[in-house]
Amino acid sequence: MAATDIARQAGEGCRTVPLAGHVGFDSLPDQLVNQSISQGFCFNILCVGETGLGKSTLMDTLFNTKFEGEPATHTQPGVQLQSNTYDLQESNVGLKLTIVSTVGFGDQINKEDSYRPIVEFIDAQFEAYLQEELKIRRLLHNYHDSRIHACLYFIAPTGHSLKSLDLVTMKKLDSKVNVIPVIAKSDAISKSELTKFKIKITSELVSNGVQIYQFPTDDEAHLPFAVIGSTEELKIGNKMVKVRQYPWGTVQVENEAHCDFVKLREMLIRVNMEDLREQTHSRHYELYRRCKLEEMGFKDTDPDSKPFSLQETYEAKRNEFLGELQKKEEEMRQMFVQRVKEKEAELKEAEKELHEKFDRLKKLHQDEKKKLEDKKKSLDDEVNAFKQRKTAAELLQSQGSQAGGSQTLKRDKEKKN
């Protein structure tokens, strides 16, 4: 019987029985709290928005501190993601906070692929967690979870409508991260314009099918949050408050009549931080994990819609891989044999051409040798003929000399007589 069937039967046969006295497992919630406090928490925020919308200032204001970093310029050639991790302590609770900012977002002339580096970064964090999860010896309890839990999308306070870049980017991100739209520097427009702007943004998000994060413990009246960030403090009444000062007056950051900063901090940090972490794991990461495992060939059911165990899936995938490997090995062997045959044919052809060239050179050499021999014979014949003519000439010359001598003697005798 499979382990899943045994577990199912055990669940179906479970009975409720009363306790005769106190046992102690009602302390489990306290145990979980103590364990969580000892381990600490992590929270990762992605700030997406154009340069100059006050992303860093809002983070400083949210966590009541001054994070390191320099203001970004508008001269970035592309979108770059800058990540910084900080260890925060409040009372006895530790928080490892990671803030990721999109440097150069919206500064390029061609903004067609501005969202791509952001999506790739989020997927890279999912992939890193999946690789750790798939290890035989996992260390998830000590693993620094870098998955993005919340994406604060900063919208420019134009008062008109969302930009195409905003709609495209949020649509690409809504299935990968909890998107929370915020209107940055909301004191730049009047209260009536801000109300209309919120309605316009909500309408455009719905009509374009953008799924933003749904806060489970509050209505959606404040979405998108109209926020103001400032670390400047001013004494008003008997207490110091964070403000932005203008020639016409001051805007109090934590005054709910001035902006939604308090509501954002309440919903993001004080009430729903754990839900954002849970949604990231159970919804966005599970979607990525399922798609990734399906790409790798793993599945939960067979063609008959029956449950598949991991062992069976592994064996089937292993056999499939071995079959493909054997097929590729056979293809490589055949390719090797074919290459060897082709090489042998090339060598034979080259050898044949070499022999033909040798024969041509040999015949040419023989022809040249024969010509030289014929020429030599001709020269020898000419030399012999020359020698014969020379001998004949010398013989004639000697005979002529003898004849002349005899005539001279005869004339001398005649003179004497």
What is the full per-residue pLDDT of the chain (417 aa) written as tens digits? 445 555 555 556 688 888 888 998 889 999 988 888 888 899 999 999 998 899 999 999 999 998 877 766 767 778 999 999 999 999 899 999 999 999 989 888 888 889 999 999 999 999 999 999 888 888 877 788 999 999 999 999 998 889 999 999 999 999 999 999 999 999 999 999 999 999 999 999 999 999 999 988 755 667 899 999 998 889 888 889 999 998 888 999 999 999 999 999 999 999 999 999 999 999 999 999 999 988 877 776 666 666 666 667 667 777 888 898 999 999 999 999 999 999 999 999 999 999 999 999 999 999 999 999 999 999 999 899 999 888 888 888 888 777 776 676 677 677 766
| pTM higher than the cut 0.85 | no
Q: Report whether 154 contacts 126 (CB < 8 A).
A: no
CA 267 to centroid of chain Cα atoms: 34
Q: Please provide residue 99's backbone torsions phi and psi, each rounded to the nearest 5 degrees.
A: -115, 120
Distance, CA of 387 to CA of 390 (rounded, Å): 5
Which of these, 174, 152, 161, lies nearest to 229 by C-alpha position? 152
3-state secondary structure of 44: strand
Maximum Cα–Cα distance for the chain, whole Å?
Answer: 197
Q: Report whether 156 contacts 54 (CB < 8 A).
A: no
Distance, CA of 116 to CA of 29 (rounded, Å): 42
